[in-house]
């Protein structure tokens, strides 16, 4: 069956999808709670969401604010406020855009890379503790399945709805 097909799925498949969806919602809530706990410990005064900008800049390279907003599915004003905080804390710097001197790019600083690396080490330590009683094969299987799930989501976003709840997908 083709991705994004509107064909009706068998009940057993839909029931399993419902159970998986419930577990994913539970997972997202637990991750949000864990991030909140970490944020409470952070003395730097930076919004937790601002670290998503730093992550993006480190993995995608220097970006304009508009590109970050698109990448992070956020408003430009929000990205601008959060990136200003990162600049003030010395984690991100503004650079002139080589393609358009009137514009600027945001890029991580050496301190931003250090802070990111420290946060990553802490996250990895926590995840290793969470999975500490799992055997190696189960950990690798989970990683592979998460990668497959993320790729499937990236390739099959649900159609957007307008404010009336009517699908705006072509042919819908």
Q: What is the pLDDT of residues 52-62, one digit of tens each?
A: 899 999 999 99
pLDDT value of position 6? 66
- Show the low-confidence residues of the chain (pLDDT under 50): 1-2, 41-43, 167-172
Alpha-helix runs per DSSP H in 61-109: 65-72, 76-88
Contact, 96 vs 105, CB < 8 A?
A: yes
pLDDT value of position 97? 85
Query: Which residue ranges make up each domain of the chain?
Result: 33-120
125-144 tens-digit pLDDT? 999 999 999 999 999 999 99
In degrees and rounded to multiples of 5, residue 4 shows phi and psi of 65, 15
pTM for this prediction: 0.71
Q: In whole angstroms, what is the distance from residue 7 CA to residue 13 CA? A: 12
pLDDT value of position 165? 52
pLDDT value of position 88? 92
pLDDT value of position 39? 61
Contact, 57 vs 93, CB < 8 A?
A: no
Whole-Å CA distances, 26 to 17, 33, 125, 130: 14, 11, 22, 16
Q: Is residue 65 packed enough to be buried (19+ CB in 10 Å), middle (13-18) or exposed (0-12)?
A: buried
pLDDT value of position 4? 54
pLDDT value of position 40? 53
Contact, 106 vs 83, CB < 8 A?
A: yes
pLDDT value of position 160? 75
CB atoms within 10 A of CB 139: 14
User: Was domain 33-120 assigned CATH 1.10.10.10?
Assistant: yes
pLDDT value of position 15? 93
């Amino acid at each position: 069956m083709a991705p994004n097909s509107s064909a009706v799925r068998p009940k057993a498949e839909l029931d399993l999808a419902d159970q998986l969806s419930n577990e994913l919602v539970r997972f997202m809530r637990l991750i949000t709670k864990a991030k909140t706990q970490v944020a409470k410990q952070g003395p730097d005064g930076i919004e937790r969401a601002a670290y998503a900008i730093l992550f993006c800049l480190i993995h995608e390279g220097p970006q304009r604010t508009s590109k970050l907003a698109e990448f992070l599915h956020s408003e430009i004003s929000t990205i601008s406020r959060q990136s200003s905080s990162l600049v003030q804390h010395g984690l991100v710097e503004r650079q002139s855009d080589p393609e358009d001197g009137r514009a600027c790019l945001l890029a991580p600083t050496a301190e931003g890379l250090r802070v990111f690396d420290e946060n990553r080490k802490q996250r990895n330590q926590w995840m290793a503790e969470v999975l500490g009683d799992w055997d190696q094969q189960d950990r690798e299987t989970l990683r592979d399945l998460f990668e497959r799930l993320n790729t499937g989501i990236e390739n099959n976003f649900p159609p957007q709805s307008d404010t009336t709840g009517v699908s705006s997908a072509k042919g819908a």
